[in-house]
Amino acid sequence: MSPIRANDRFAGLLLGTAVGDALGLPAENLSAERIRRRGRDKWRTRFIFGRGMVSDDTEQTMIFPPY
């Protein structure tokens, strides 16, 4: 198996950041108790045309490329 190139690693890092941010955004700044009370079926983030969104965390990660 060939080694993973640095560009591919960086692309994976950015993608993982955006996906994790989008999945965790509805629970941002909520306590564990409040998250438990909301249940499993109320976790939806809507932005444009019913699609999910990311927060400023992903935006700031994308602003400063490592070059």
Task: Say which residues have a Cβ less than 8 Å from residue 54's Cβ, sequence separation at least 6.
Answer: 18, 21, 22, 25
In angstroms, the CA 27 to CA 12 distance is 23
Helices (H), 1-67: 6-24, 32-38, 56-63
pLDDT in tens, 53-67: 778 888 888 886 666
pLDDT in tens, 18-36: 888 888 888 888 898 988 8
Tally of CB atoms within 10 A around 58: 18
Question: Is the whole-model pTM more than 0.75?
Answer: no
The answer to whether the Cα torsion of 17, 20, 21, 22 is positive or negative is: positive
